[in-house]
Amino acid sequence: MSEAVVPTDVDEETRALNLIEAERKAVALFDEVTDRGIVAPGRWESEVSDEVRDLAAELFGTGKHWHKRIVRSGSNTLQPYRENPPDRRIAAGDIVFLDFGPVFSEWEADFGRTYVLGDDPEKLRLRDDLPGIWQAGREHFEKHPDITGSELYAHVVSLAEAAGWAFGGPHSGHLVGEFPHELIDADLVNSYIAPANHRPLRTTDDAGRRCHWILEIHLVDRARTFGGFYEQLLTLSR
């Protein structure tokens, strides 16, 4: 894994603009994934992952990803980030999600989307619920200036449950730009939107910079063994 090194000598406006631009490129990358039909039945998850990696290099000249590249299909979509389920061949009718952290000009993006390869109504409902629950979480964040990580996590879990889903992850987001996922542990719990983070999310980091957050939504139906995922910048807008 390649870890990005975010410059510490840039002003807040420039830093924000670079994070927004990184996400804009991630959106363009995922749009191209859709247009090229890269997520398709018969392909291995690892094959899709490698093709998206190569596409990022083709479109933007980046070979860096600040966390492991995730493509999960079928029952693998139940698994949270830290798990490493066995590589699976994507089947017709599957639900599939991608979670990538491409680095553009040393600025990190973290972006996740879900695809349904059929017409299963519950899988389609889950896919379509993801952006609405994400947006409702963001609106709650905007309305509560002093909200803590634990409070926002509890709110998005309640949103998921109200829509008829379980929440699949032990957290619902993290700081962006400061660290790789693999180094986070209990001592860095304040880097998560998680039950144990009782600090306000609107704060500054150790370098005195404004904290920017990714909000991620992982919805699952454990009985029917599928889930979906959606994430993007919480604190900045394109």
Mean pLDDT of the chain: 89
Coil, strand or helix: which one is 149? helix
216-234 CB burial, b ≥16 within 10 A, e <16: bbbbbbeeeebbbbbbbbb
According to the per-residue pLDDT averaged within each range, which of 52-56, 98-102, 108-112, 150-154 is highest?
A: 150-154
CA-closest candidate to residue 117, choices 230, 231, 232, 226: 226
Question: Within 36-164, where are the H helices?
Answer: 45-60, 121-143, 149-162
> Which residues in 86-120 are b (16+ Cβ under 10 Å) and which e?
eebebeeebbbbbbbbbbbeebbbbbbbbbbbeeb
pLDDT in tens, 2-61: 334 444 567 899 889 989 988 899 899 999 999 999 999 999 999 999 999 999 999 888
For residue range 75-102, what is the model confidence (pLDDT) as tens digits? Answer: 999 999 889 999 999 999 999 999 987 7
pLDDT at 163: 98
Per-residue pLDDT at 160 exceeds 60: yes
Contacts of 80 (CB under 8 A, 6+ apart): 168, 169, 170, 218
Look up residue 190 and give its DSSP letter: G
Q: Is the pLDDT of residue 232 over 90?
A: yes
How much is the pLDDT for 182? 45
Question: pTM of the predicted model, to two decimals?
Answer: 0.91
In the chain, where the domains are located: 12-233
Asked whether the beta carbons of 165 and 221 are under 8 A apart, the reply is: yes
Residue-level pLDDT at 22: 87
Mean pLDDT of 127-142: 98
pLDDT band at 128 (very low <50, low <70, confident <90, very high): very high
For residue 196, give Cα distances in angstroms to 9, 169, 213. Answer: 31, 14, 16
pLDDT of residue 65: 66
State the fold for domain 12-233: Creatine Amidinohydrolase (3.90.230)
Residue 223 is predicted with a pLDDT of: 98
Half-sphere exposure of 40 (CA within 13 A, CB side): 10
Cβ atoms 231, 112 nearer than 8 A: yes
* Separation of alpha carbons 52 and 87, rounded Å: 16
Say if residue 73's pLDDT is above 50.
Answer: yes
- Among 115-129, 188-202, 220-234, where is mean pLDDT lowest? 188-202
Q: How far apart are CA 232 and CA 5, in angstroms?
A: 20
pLDDT at 184: 47
**Residue 107 pLDDT:** 76
Residue closest to 115 by CA, chosen among 28, 14, 37, 224:
37
> How far out from the chain centre does Cα 237 lie?
15
Give the whole-angstrom CA distance, residue 201 versus residue 234: 11
pLDDT in tens, 165-188: 999 999 999 988 654 444 445 558
pLDDT (0 to 100) of residue 134: 98
Per cent of the chain over pLDDT 90 is: 70
For residue 187, what pLDDT is reported? 57
d(Cα 47, Cα 129) in Å, to the nearest integer?
28
**How far apart are the C-alpha atoms of 155 and 50, rounded to whole Å?**
35
The 8-class DSSP code of residue 182 comes to: G
Whole-number pLDDT of residue 78:
98
